[in-house]
Amino acid sequence: MENAPAGASSSLSSSQIGDRQDKAEGRLITVYIMGKAYEVPEEATIMGAIEYAGHQIIRGAGCREGYCGACATIYRLPGDYKIRTGLACMTMVEEGMTLAQIPSVPAEKAIYDIEKLKPNVTAIQQMYPTVFRCVACGTCTKSCPQGLQVMDYVQAAKRGDIAAVMDLSFDCVVCGLCMLRCPAEITQPLMGIMAKRLYGRYLRKESHELAERVKAVEDGVYEAEYAEMMSMNREDLTKRYYARDSE
Ligand code: SF4
Ligand code: SF4
Ligand code: FES
């Protein structure tokens, strides 16, 4: 096992020369995982590289498709002072990358009864007062692997615009990277979840179509169709699925 980047340059042994030749053919690159050097396929994601290097990811992986937010990772690239952020399952390795996974970001979660809150700025003031410490530096937005305008939804929260918070934070996967980097130590994703709950409870428009369909289900209108599908084999069910009317 090699050491961290600082000691990895100068003279090369014959095995290292062989390694470099492999790299020249585009097969392997060196990345530094928790300070140790590993040779990994250049087309690997960070998550794939960690596992290729022999580590088992017990905490810090879930969907492997960019949805669950479990695989928050920080990294640096050679010659670049910036700490970068990404989801390990969605970010490709790069030569000389130094990385560490952040399996959990400690955060204080507000406990509330949604029935006792209103969808306004008072709810934000009571449950997530740290939001008002925002200095509008934009670090959260730069850190977000989902490309969300995180600072904008924090500003919307300060105005009590719950609908805007819901809209702007809708694709948040709660990876925690924005709150990890925030100099004001705001817990943006948790506040965003509360705003979405408030929106769902008080502001969303009622859907008459949905209410009608739920009533039809409760009245047993589809029972015969369900029973028929439950008795079908996989092949027939697949044909039926692809032959369906879809909007
Ligand atoms: S808003 Fe924050 S927690 Fe949500 S996806 Fe972006 S960085 Fe992750
Ligand atoms: S990182 Fe924190 S202080 Fe900076 S804009 Fe985002 S919420 Fe505000
Ligand atoms: S494992 Fe779910 S987002 Fe990466």
Pocket test for ligand 1, best of 150, 182, 186 (most atoms within 8 A of CB): 150
Rg (CA), the chain: 24
In short, whether 175's Cβ falls inside 6 Å of ligand 3 is no
In short, whether 70's Cβ falls inside 6 Å of ligand 3 is yes
**What is the rounded distance in angstroms from the CA atom of residue 67 to the CA atom of residue 62?**
9
In short, whether 177's Cβ falls inside 6 Å of ligand 3 is no
**3-class DSSP state of 38:** strand
**For residue 38, what are the β-bridge partners?**
31
**3-class DSSP state of 137:** coil
Q: How much distance in Å is there from the Cα of 198 to the middle of ligand 1? A: 19
Threshold 0.75, pTM exceeds: yes
Residues 6+ apart with CB under 8 A from 188: 140, 150, 153, 154, 169, 172, 178, 179, 182
In short, whether 67's Cβ falls inside 6 Å of ligand 3 is yes
Q: How much distance in Å is there from the Cα of 54 to the middle of ligand 1? A: 28
CB burial of residue 221 (10 Å; 0-12, 13-18, 19+): exposed
Q: Which ligand is nearest to the CA of 165?
A: 1
Q: How much distance in Å is there from the Cα of 122 to the middle of ligand 3? A: 34
In short, whether 87's Cβ falls inside 6 Å of ligand 3 is yes
Q: To 5 degrees, how large is the angle CA 22–CA 23–CA 27?
A: 80
Per-residue pLDDT of the chain (247 residues; tens, 9 = 90+): 333 333 233 344 445 444 444 444 568 999 999 999 999 999 999 999 999 999 999 889 999 999 999 999 999 999 999 999 999 999 999 999 999 999 899 999 999 999 999 999 999 999 999 999 999 999 999 999 999 999 999 999 999 999 999 999 999 999 999 999 999 999 999 999 999 999 999 999 988 999 999 999 999 999 999 999 999 999 999 999 999 887 6
**What is the rounded distance in angstroms from the CA atom of residue 196 to the CA atom of residue 211?**
21
**What is the rounded distance in angstroms from the CA atom of residue 173 to the CA atom of residue 164?**
17
**What is the rounded distance in angstroms from the CA atom of residue 226 to the CA atom of residue 213?**
15
**What is the rounded distance in angstroms from the CA atom of residue 3 to the CA atom of residue 183?**
32
Per-residue model confidence (pLDDT) at position 113 = 98
Q: Which ligand is nearest to the CA of 144?
A: 1
Q: Residues 75, 40: contact at Cβ < 8 Å? A: no
The closest residue, in CA terms, to atom 4 on ligand 2 is: 137
For CA atoms 206, 210, 211, 212, the dihedral sign is positive
Pocket of ligand 2 (CB under 6 A): 134-140, 150-151, 154, 182-184, 186, 188
| Domain definitions of the chain by residue range | 5-101, 114-203, 208-239
Pocket of ligand 1 (CB under 6 A): 69, 143-144, 146, 148, 150, 172-178, 188-189
Q: How much distance in Å is there from the Cα of 184 to the middle of ligand 2? A: 6
Fold (topology level) of 5-101:
Ubiquitin-like (UB roll) (3.10.20)
